[in-house]
Structure 1
Amino acid sequence: MELPPPGTDLHRLMTRFPRAGQVQWIGLRPARDVPMREVGSAQASAGGGLAGDRYNGGSGKRGVTLIQAEHLPAIAALAGHEEIVPATLRRNLVVSGIALIALKGNRFRIGDVLLEGTVACDPCSRMEVALGAGGYNALRGMGGLCARILEGGELRLGDAVEWVGA
């Protein structure tokens, strides 16, 4: 959603965050249909993706995929699981403490890396296998966010996630 004009109440509401978020988990997808590899840090390339990830060098709008840590228990409950490990959902970053949907269409920093939220990261048909029957629908609305990498650098566990602007 595009930000309303500065000085309006809605602009003020949409640009105020209670606190910075934090990176809780980082994973790389080395190739299609192979398990994700959990890492402590990853190198992000401007206009590309993460080194070692299958999407590196591909479409800039999907340079990094993020999912909300707070949604993992809800997805698990809807899919009939006690818990879900992040690698199951095949997103690069699990982030807590900041509403990812509020970053869509906006710029934000994770450590030294500047990103721009592009589109919702909708579930794919693989979730039916990963989560069981109905897994696709269990993830709908909570699939996270895709982001374009505007300035590269290293992403690390524990890095702050902070809104920068539109």
Structure 2
Amino acid sequence: MAFPFFGDDKSTVARLLATLPQQGRLEWIGLRPARRAELLAVPEAEVLTDQRLAGDHASPKPGGKRQLTIIQHEHLGAVAGYLGLPEPVAPGRLRRNLVVSGLNLLALKGRQIQIGEEVLLDITGECHPCSRMEEELGPGGYNAMRGHGGLTAHIAQGGIIRVGDAVRVVVPPSPSAAP
């Protein structure tokens, strides 16, 4: 018996995976001024093409897959719930650069997103938790973050981003649209 929603055709699933009409919102921006330093929440930041956020200590390689890290806002409460905390975990404790709401970030792997009017990020993979989560969140912090660590990104085009900016999935041009 076939499921009527998916049909028997793999192209149906491919079409569904490619359909992401939602728009998200940039909720938080964090800079790490030095290795192991507390993240500083900022209202806006300059994103440097193929590098990092200006003012962040990280110095990833040009062309690198982990120039920026992103976590889903909705997961802050989930992680807190796994740890028995009464309120969502503060974004800076999770050591990610950006917090985005309104989009299922895992659906964005291998896609490109636009933040604000200028910045383009290539989503390169998952950002798995590290042992620092035990130090930051206490016993069980590492396991609470598993599956909720966010994503890594390559900075395809820089510019200025601000808290409150729209986050959109970039739809590649259709092959039939080529001249």
Name the SS of the counterpart of 2:46 in structure 1. strand
1:71 aligned residue (52, 75, 88):
75
- Mapped to 2, the partners of 1:39 and 1:116 lie a distance apart of 23
Deviation at 1:156, TM superposition (A): 0.8
Runs of 4+ in structure 1 deviating by more than 6 angstroms, as ranges, are none
2:132 aligned residue (106, 111, 126):
126
Q: Mind listing any 5+ residue stretches in structure 1 that lack a counterpart?
A: 1-6
Deviation at 1:80, TM superposition (A): 2.2
2:114 aligned residue (106, 109, 117):
109
User: Could you list the per-position Cα deviations for residues 51-91 of structure 1 after superposition, in whole angstroms to 9, with x for gaps in the alignment?
Assistant: 01122444621111110011111100112222211100011
Aligned residues: 160
Q: Which moved more, 1:20-29 or 1:56-65?
A: 56-65
Q: Mind listing any 5+ residue stretches in structure 2 that lack a counterpart?
A: 1-9, 173-179
Which of 1 and 2 has greater Rg?
Answer: 2
Please give the residue correspondences for 1:29-48 in structure 2 after superposition, counting only pairs within 5 Å: 29-48=32-51
Do the aligned partners of 1:50 and 1:56 also contact (CA within 8 Å) in 2? no
Q: Which moved more, 1:80-89 or 1:126-135?
A: 80-89
Alignment of 1:86 onto 2:91? yes
- Mapped to 2, the partners of 1:156 and 1:15 lie a distance apart of 27
State the TM-score, normalized to the length of structure 1.
0.91
Identity between Structure 1 and Structure 2 (%): 51
- Mapped to 2, the partners of 1:93 and 1:26 lie a distance apart of 5
- Mapped to 2, the partners of 1:148 and 1:165 lie a distance apart of 17
2:156 aligned residue (150, 155, 165):
150
Task: State the AA in 2 paired with 1:86.
Answer: P
Do the aligned partners of 2:60 and 2:66 also contact (CA within 8 Å) in 1? no
1:52 aligned residue (40, 52, 55):
55
Task: State the AA in 1 paired with 2:23.
Answer: A
Deviation at 1:15, TM superposition (A): 1.9
Task: State the AA in 1 paired with 2:76.
Answer: L
Deviation at 1:31, TM superposition (A): 1.2
Deviation at 1:12, TM superposition (A): 1.8
2:31 corresponds in structure 1 to 28
Q: Which moved more, 1:12-21 or 1:135-144?
A: 12-21
2:166 corresponds in structure 1 to 160
Deviation at 1:18, TM superposition (A): 4.4
2:65 corresponds in structure 1 to 61
Task: State the AA in 1 paired with 2:27.
Answer: Q
